[in-house]
Amino acid sequence: MAKKNILVVEDNHAILDVITLILESEAFNVAGLNNGAGFIEHVKEFEPAVIIMDIMLPDFDGRVLLKELKLDPLTKHIPVLMISARYNSSNYKLDDVAADDFMAKPFNIDELMDKIYALLRKSA
């Protein structure tokens, strides 16, 4: 079975490194972005099975990137798990475009993996 690609968009390098390490230990291919520049182009090139994205990025609101992703016919099918330290599950959408799931930071590693596997099953 081919490894699944997961894109992580997180500006905190420590969190990005931890998530990457966890996902790679579970045999995923991981690409990381620490801002939203070139997000859609990177998604189309990397073809992730799941995207994990922080809401608060230094250059973009993650919800705006989510909306751009979900309105593009080539990327709208990709499940997105939004993560945030400042928002709650009622704040992870913009203009009726919602992520597929949400996690508050700090998060439990087992819960993170449960959510990722659930999103992969849902999209299969």
Q: What pLDDT digit, counting tens, does each position of 27-53 carry?
A: 999 999 999 999 999 999 999 999 999
> Nearest Cα to 86, choosing from 11, 8, 7?
11
Distance, first Cα to last Cα, the chain:
14
Structure tokens at 54: 């922080």
Q: What pLDDT digit, counting tens, does each position of 7-28 carry?
A: 999 999 999 999 999 999 999 9
Q: What pLDDT digit, counting tens, does each position of 58-109 carry?
A: 998 888 999 999 999 999 999 999 998 876 655 555 556 688 999 988 889 9
Peptide bond just before 79 cis, omega within 30 deg: no
Domains and CATH numbers, the chain: 5-123 (3.40.50.2300)
SS (H, E, C) 87-104: CCHHHCEECCEECCEEEE
**Confidence category of residue 2, pLDDT binned at 50, 70, 90:** confident
Single-letter amino acid code for the residue at 96: D
State the Cα–Cα distance between residues 94 and 113, nearest whole angstrom. 25
State the Cα–Cα distance between residues 92 and 115, nearest whole angstrom. 16
